[in-house]
Amino acid sequence: MITIRPAQARGTANFGWLDTKHTFSFGSYYDPQYLGFKTLRVINEDKIQPSQGFGTHSHRDMEIITYVLDGELEHKDSIGNGSIIRPGDIQRMSAGTGIAHSEFNASNTAPVHLLQIWILPEISGIEPSYEQKYFAPEEKQGKFKLVGSRDGRDNSVTIHQDVNLYVATLDQDEQVKYCVGDRRSVWMQIARGKVEMNEQILNAGDGVAIEEDKEICWKAIALKSEILLFDLG
């Protein structure tokens, strides 16, 4: 079964400094049909104004992944990490028993555009940890690149859950295929651009739930299309 979650159906909020769109229920936005997908709980598309951001706040027992599309995001946390997250980076923060962090736009002039992703961990109460890795454009061009996994294979960041996270970037008319395995489920998110899937057009912000064993093909019909694919156990 394939279910499309249109971008325009997402929850929205605009606080001036933050323009955010919620694929799943989050904060004051609640949709009983979209509480998450398997262990995937949050996909928020955030646009943060220059020098603005999220002040220090705490999390527990959540795998938090940050994926920057444009701009730079400054991260600081209570276990001693401080970094700038840029396009091409994957940041994974395991909140575990508890972690406090802040996220601010590192630029005084340009907005930052990002996806914030939350995944439930398979074990509660782990030690908080942080990881950030860069993947060059050629690693993702015209193919799915593994950027996050339970075992950290192929230099991916380690996610404490049975999930494989892939990213693909496509130029116009480029295609990628993915076979959904037996007893696996896939959520794919169009991060930017426009693609065709099974004769259906998907735009930036659209999400798709795929819950059957079959091969899916995506073809870019706009330059610089970008797809995130979550293969979930």
| pTM score | 0.96
CA–CA gap between residue 174 and residue 155 (Å, rounded):
25
**Nearest Cα to Cα of residue 23 among 232, 206, 227:** 206
177 burial type by CB count under 10 A (0-12 exposed, 13-18 middle, 19+ buried): exposed
- Please tell me the predicted confidence (pLDDT) of residue 199: 86
- Residue 1 predicted with pLDDT over 90: no
Q: What is the mean pLDDT of residues 214-226?
A: 91
Contact 227, 176 (CB under 8 A): yes
Task: Name the percent of the chain lying above pLDDT 90.
Answer: 94
Give the Cα separation of 100 and 119 in Å (integer): 17
Residue 222: pLDDT band (50, 70, 90) is confident
- Alpha-carbon separation of residue 183 from 179, 199, 231 (angstroms): 12, 25, 11
- The model's pLDDT over 170-203, given as tens digits with 9 standing for 90+, comes to 999 999 999 998 899 999 999 999 999 988 999 9
Domain residues of the chain, as ranges? 2-232
Torsion of CA 147, 58, 78, 114, to 10 degrees: 40
Residues 39 and 232: beta-carbon distance below 8 Å: yes
Mean pLDDT of 209-215: 86
Cα distance between residue 143 and residue 51, in whole Å: 35
What is the spatial distance between Cα 195 and Cα 189, in angstroms, rounded to a whole number? 11
Assigned superfamily of 2-232: Jelly Rolls (2.60.120.10)
- Tell me the pairing of strands 112-119 and 40-48: antiparallel
Answer yes or no: is pLDDT of 75 > 80: yes
